[in-house]
Amino acid sequence: MRIISLNAWGGSLHEALIDYVREADADVLCLQEVLRGPDPRSGWSIYRDAGLELPQRANLFAEISAALPGHDGFFCPTSRGTLFDGDTAIVAEFGLATFVRKSHSVIAQAMNFVHGSFSAGGWGEHPRPRNAHCIRLFSHGNASAITIAHMHGLRDPAGKGDTPARTEQALALVGLIERVWPGDEGLVVCGDFNVLPDSATFKILARLGLSDLVTGNGLVDTRTSYYLKQGRFADYMLVTPEVKLARFEVVEAPEVSDHRALLLDVV
């Protein structure tokens, strides 16, 4: 089973992103920063916030769904706000997306907020709402089940250091996982956590027996050349000892976002 986690950056590198998710052949694709609009014809739009303008695909979820016809897609919104096509406002939702190959059976799942609550009237104040999605799959090829969760951690303008909100976020993630994971099978937890490697988040997740593959392999960079700031950590992938690894990679090429994809092959 191949599991990939990636912050999709709203589809800013759209063509490269679509090509990658089609060719990477993931069984489970965990995406953060995905948009879904009510108009399937929506294409490029602009996200504007405090002087920042960023190109976005207003219906990225539908575009990735079309690129992966052999997968079931699950969209988990955190907020509903406005993008712009010139002066024309476009309504869209922002959140997580999980794609699962249809040959696997989704036998349990849960989604909930790990920070804040759904913002229906705009993107929300910083730090904005964040959620997590947890699924339990039955692999018919292996006749076994595995639980996979991913999260987009809150962004704090003050930085990625620990805060009470981030501690509560980690506790909420553990609580969500415990609703789905039976505790006696493999567990994978991944995503853009927006924390530093020494964060208390990892001590909290360690209570479930999880250890991080990024820092555990001495890797120091999960960002691409499109990310120009200091501090190259953001994305993590953690596993319990029951998960038998065939391969783990922080993907350097192609660059399809300002984040690198994390790729895990499980025996």
pLDDT of amino acid 38: 80
Low-confidence residues of the chain: pLDDT under 50: none
Q: What is the CA radius of gyration of the chain?
A: 17
Q: Are 65 and 11 in contact (CB under 8 A)?
A: no
pLDDT of residue 42: 66
Residues 67-100: pLDDT tens digits?
999 999 999 999 999 999 888 999 999 999 999 9
Nearest alpha carbon to residue 10 among 43, 55, 64, 65: 55
**pLDDT for res 233:** 92
pLDDT at 201: 98
The H helix count followed by the E strand count for the chain is 5, 14
Cα distance between residue 232 and residue 34, in whole Å = 21
| CA distances for 249 relative to 33, 74, 131, 132, 186, angstroms | 21, 25, 25, 23, 19
